[in-house]
Amino acid sequence: MSTAVLRFENVSKQFPGVKALDGVSFEAHAGRVHGLLGENGAGKSTLLKMLGGQYRPDGGRLLLNGRPCDFHSAGDAIAAGIAVIHQELQYVAELSVAENVLLGRLPTRFGLVDHAEAQRRVAAQLAAIGIELDPAARLGELSIAQRQMVEICKAVAQDAQVIAFDEPTSSLSHRESEILFRLVHALRAEGRTLIYISHRLEELYALCDSCTIFRDGRKVASHAVMAEVRRERLISDMVGRELSDIYDYRPRPAGQRRLQVHKLRSQALPHGLSFEVRGGEVLGFFGLVGAGRSELMRLLYGADRRRGGQVLLDGAPVSAAGPAAAIAAGIVLCPEDRKEQGLLTQASVAENINISCRRHGLLAGLFLRHRREAALADAFIQRLRIKTPHRRQAVSLLSGGNQQKVILARWLAEPGLKVLILDEPTRGIDVGAKNEIYRLIHEVAARGCCVIVVSSELPEVLGIADRLIVMRDGRISGELPRAQASETAALALALPDPACSDFCD
Amino acid sequence: MNASTLTPLPTLPARPWLKEHSMTLGYLLLFLLLSALVENFFTAANIVGLMLSVAQIGMVACTMMLCLASRDFDLSVGSTIAFAGVLGAIILERSGSLGLALGGGLLAGALIGAANGMLIAYLRVNALIATLATMLMVRGLAFIVSRGQAVGIASEGFIALGDSQLLGLPLPVWTSAACFLVFGVLLNHTVFGRNTLAIGGNPEAARLAGVRVERLRVWIFALQGLVTALAGLILAARITSGQPNSAQGFELDVISACVLGGVSLQGGRARIFGVLIGVLIMGTLENVMNLLDVDAFYQYLMRGLILLAAVLLDQLKTRGGQHG
């Protein structure tokens, strides 16, 4: 076994009111990928920020090649040969790939930036790690996956010995993830030390040699050989309890037809899409990124302009005037991007729950009834087990799973709820919170509501939905009842059909 | 603050009291210091004069607060003040009816505001540009309708708007106080105020949560126009004429007062009490500089410095709140 390149010894970190890390020790070796597992709030991100020089440990120490490190800034960590690829990528959208990679170290000639030289150097770097990208392209024009590649190229250009990834696949499509995995393997083969954080167990099994599991800021276990650890064991270690079936699906009787979508069209979806949902049914939507699932949901919700078609709820047409009209009819949406589209990040938990607050009983004439608002918020914080110190806590300080629950609470508090649409409801959320969200979905369905779940995670939609609709290139490519829905059947419908591509468009 | 009635959730750690009220404490300190050091500052006549001098700014700052809280901006208020005053004076001159004059002025203000709102909300013109354009146009209209001349006001009833007294305080001060009360309630205790902060905090999230963002923006600007027109009519009453070139640079004073009062230009954050303090700071400084006979040129310099200092203080406060 190789020597430990990176070692955490008894590291602790205290934030006001929370012990984020409590005496954590583990090590990572050259030429190996070490996975970090744990629910949100378990301490993984704090650890990475410490590695990246953003936080300093309160206790314990960090050793690189046997020497203790004391990072005061992100610059110190980079100088020591550590690169952290954060979930939220850090780049300058207006600058080119080459400029981003070499930012701070741009080659100059006569005091001016030597663009030709910069692009030549970066092109060589990109070629070396096998990425096809134009070094002159502006970062803002690239896809998220490509921006991530640039970030990795930057780490390699800085000759980082240790590269840490924080949930790198959370916003990548299937195919983009494959490219990332190949890159991780290549970096490993070069003898670099890799740290990898993800919530997707399949991915961790495929990539990691060893792993450490965290819970509530403490280390639960380290495994030198990841492949020998059983999946159930990993999950129960992370969650702290047994989770037999995280999807919690139980067959239920199908109700009456409630929602009918007929030839719905928009600028982004010109083909006219039709489908139906029964009361008490959970309908899954699957497709590759760009297949038009989110666009269809936004259109159904009135967030995008309708060009044609009709939506009927219990036989009555639903106005296309906008989200406010959809909500009035009983259709609500938990959007794909929680931060940008879902949350009022500066506001409190209670304000986020109560925002669509023309609710019965919360108003006395023109005026808000603060007591009732508070009581309603508290009731939902308890019912959905939202982990927050108080309803007045800023929602931005909550973990992803709890933020999602806040948005769910907003809609579950809606007395006229009939159709609940969830777009990627568990993206970036840990296993325990996922399970709670699935149970809420089943609970809403049991009330006789229609639930539509859009997800790029195939096991998830297969696990919770009664029926699956697959989309491809802005069209509905097929429909699978639960009994016939398998990964192969769904993927066959989702992937582009080479025989057809000659005729379509 | 009422305690939670239903649950045993732990309470938040008390917000650092000093940080929360630093501006208020700063103002109190300033006030005490000036009372002790500056001759004639702490006299009934001077304090009433001070309040009267910021009455217009105070009224408009209330609605500007809503505007800034919703992540917008309004540069046209100075011109609207002049136009409403001139229009009121002209209608009064032609018709002799006080009601028509006031109604006409207020309606014009509300329409200017609503036009600003529609440009910004529906036609998606940047707020800075849209209100810069209306600022120029409305100023132009004020000159056109008055042919560039001040329009005198002779009506006792109209003039009473500006100089009648109630319980020892001039009417404009009462109007301003009423504005602070009404808009404070509007901001904190109605759906309107809540949604205003929401669209300032995150417009897309607010829209997807069911807030009718465009309509709300138009309302905010229409209110702004209405209150500004009222301020314009009161100003005209005080100076007994509608002046087409009055209130130049007024918009910047109002925005300064709001920023001093801790309203975030990024939207989503506003406190009515803060705005009140901001307005008082502006008024007090001007008052003291006049008492001390500071040259008008230096007064500009001082006002700029105070504004910068307040904003830097605020920056330091928010930065202190972040980790790492």
Residues of B with CB under 8 A from a CB of A: 2, 4-7, 9-13, 185, 189-191, 194-195, 197-198, 201-202, 204-212, 268-269, 323-324
Most confident of A92-96, A170-174, A288-292, B241-245: B241-245
β partners of residue A332 = A420
Architecture of domain B43-316: Orthogonal Bundle (1.10)
Residue range B66-72: mean pLDDT, rounded: 93
Residue-level pLDDT at B1: 37
pLDDT in tens, A375-410: 989 999 999 989 888 898 888 888 888 999 999 999
DSSP H helices in A158-212 = 174-189, 201-207
State whether A324 and B210 contact (CB < 8 Å). yes
Residues of A in contact with B210 (CB under 8 A): 323-324, 326-327, 355-356
pLDDT in tens, B152-204: 988 888 898 888 888 889 999 999 999 999 999 999 998 899 899 999 988 99
- Cβ–Cβ contact A50 with B under 8 A: no
Cross-chain CB nearest to B268 (options A342, A346, A367): A346
State whether A347 and B268 contact (CB < 8 Å). yes
Using alpha carbons only, what angle is made at residue A138 by residues A133 and A139, rounded to the nearest 5 degrees? 80
Is the Cβ–Cβ distance between A66 and A228 less than 8 Å?
no
Residues of A in contact with B208 (CB under 8 A): 301, 303, 323, 333, 335, 341-342
Residue A423 has what DSSP assignment? Answer: E
Residues of B in contact with A357 (CB under 8 A): 191, 194
Nearest CA in chain A to B12: A390
pLDDT band at A103 (very low <50, low <70, confident <90, very high): confident
Helix axis angle, B55-69 to B44-53, nearest 10°? 40
State whether A368 and B190 contact (CB < 8 Å). yes
pLDDT over threshold 50, residue B321: no
State whether B206 and A358 contact (CB < 8 Å). no
pLDDT in tens, B19-53: 677 788 889 999 999 999 988 899 999 999 999 99
State whether A340 and B194 contact (CB < 8 Å). no
Question: Residue B251: enclosing H or E segment and its boundaries?
Answer: helix B250-260
How many Å apart are CA A495 and CA A501, to the nearest integer?
A: 11
Pick the CATH number of A4-239 from 3.40.50.300, 3.40.50.720, 3.30.930.10, 2.30.42.10: 3.40.50.300
pTM of the predicted protein model: 0.76
How many Å apart are CA B139 and CA B136, to the nearest integer?
A: 5
pLDDT over threshold 80, residue B7: no
Cross-chain CB nearest to A345 (options B6, B202, B208): B202
Q: Is A35 helix (H, G, I), strand (E, B) or coil?
A: strand
- Cβ–Cβ contact A63 with B under 8 A: no
Residue range A36-54: mean pLDDT, rounded: 84
Residue A422 C-alpha from the chain's centroid: 14
Residues of A in contact with B201 (CB under 8 A): 344-347
Cross-chain CB nearest to A390 (options B9, B191, B323): B9
From residue A445, give the alpha-carbon distance in Å to each of A250, A335, A450, B116: 11, 19, 6, 45
State whether B208 and A379 contact (CB < 8 Å). no
State whether B198 and A363 contact (CB < 8 Å). no
Residue B63 C-alpha from the chain's centroid: 6
Cross-chain CB nearest to A357 (options B5, B11, B194): B194
Residue-level pLDDT at A502: 38
Q: Which ipTM was obtained for this model? A: 0.80
Residue range B132-156: mean pLDDT, rounded: 93
Interface-testing mutation among B189, B208, B211, B264, with chain A (most A C-beta atoms within 10 A): B208
Residue-level pLDDT at B2: 41
Query: Which residue, A414, A419, A412, A413, is CA-closest to A257?
Result: A419
Residue-level pLDDT at A401: 86
State whether B191 and A379 contact (CB < 8 Å). no
Architecture of domain A255-330+416-494: 3-Layer(aba) Sandwich (3.40)
Is the Cβ–Cβ distance between A202 and A26 less than 8 Å?
no
Interface of A with B in 263-302 (CB under 8 A): 301
How many Å apart are CA B129 and CA B116, to the nearest integer?
A: 10
- Cβ–Cβ contact A4 with B under 8 A: no
Is the Cβ–Cβ distance between B101 and B154 less than 8 Å?
no
- Cβ–Cβ contact A381 with B under 8 A: yes
Query: How far A317 CA sits from the closest chain B CA (Å)?
Result: 19
Residue-level pLDDT at A432: 83
Query: How far B206 CA sits from the closest chain A CA (Å)?
Result: 7
Residues of A in contact with B185 (CB under 8 A): 367
pLDDT band at A4 (very low <50, low <70, confident <90, very high): confident
The DSSP code sequence of A308-372 is EEEEEETTEEPP-S-HHHHHHHTEEEE-S-IIIII--TTSBHHHHHSSS---TTSEETTEE-HHH
pLDDT band at A429 (very low <50, low <70, confident <90, very high): confident
CB atoms within 10 A of CB A412: 21
Interface of A with B in 220-259 (CB under 8 A): none
Residue-level pLDDT at B99: 93
Residue range B214-224: mean pLDDT, rounded: 96
Residue range A455-480: mean pLDDT, rounded: 91
pLDDT over threshold 80, residue B9: no
State whether A344 and B323 contact (CB < 8 Å). no
* Mean of the per-residue pLDDT values of chain A: 86
pLDDT band at A237 (very low <50, low <70, confident <90, very high): confident
pLDDT over threshold 80, residue B4: no
Residue range B258-276: mean pLDDT, rounded: 88
How many Å apart are CA A389 and CA A398, to the nearest integer?
A: 10
In the block, tokens 């096998």 appear at: A130
| Order of strands across the sheet that contains A18-29 | A18-29, A4-15, A59-64, A67-69
pLDDT in tens, A147-185: 888 888 888 888 889 999 988 887 777 778 888 898 899
- Cβ–Cβ contact A54 with B under 8 A: yes
> What are the extents of the domains in chain A?
4-239, 255-330+416-494, 342-415
How many Å apart are CA A34 and CA B96, to the nearest integer?
A: 86
Q: What are phi and psi of A430, to 5 degrees?
A: -75, 170
How many Å apart are CA A361 and CA A126, to the nearest integer?
A: 60
How many Å apart are CA B64 and CA B77, to the nearest integer?
A: 9
Least confident of A167-181, A327-341, B105-119, B227-241: A167-181
State whether B210 and A382 contact (CB < 8 Å). no
Residue range B289-296: mean pLDDT, rounded: 89
- Cβ–Cβ contact A99 with B under 8 A: no
Q: Are domains A4-239 and A255-330+416-494 of this chain identical in fold?
A: yes
Residues of B in contact with A392 (CB under 8 A): 12
pLDDT over threshold 90, residue B223: yes
Using alpha carbons only, what angle is made at residue B271 by residues B268 and B277, rounded to the nearest 5 degrees? 140
pLDDT in tens, A109-161: 888 888 888 889 899 888 887 788 888 888 888 887 888 888 888 888 888 89
pLDDT in tens, A335-382: 988 888 999 888 899 989 988 656 667 777 788 888 888 998 999 999
Query: How far A99 CA sits from the closest chain B CA (Å)?
Result: 27
How many Å apart are CA A406 and CA A270, to the nearest integer?
A: 34
Residues of B in contact with A343 (CB under 8 A): 202, 205
State whether B202 and A340 contact (CB < 8 Å). yes
Residue-level pLDDT at A242: 60
State whether B7 and A370 contact (CB < 8 Å). no
Pair of tokens at residue A363: 């108003």
pLDDT over threshold 80, residue A105: no
State whether B269 and A346 contact (CB < 8 Å). yes
Residues of B in contact with A356 (CB under 8 A): 209-211
Cross-chain CB nearest to A390 (options B12, B189, B205): B12
For residues A432, A433, A434, A438, the Cα torsion angle rounded to the nearest 10 degrees is 110
pLDDT over threshold 90, residue A258: yes
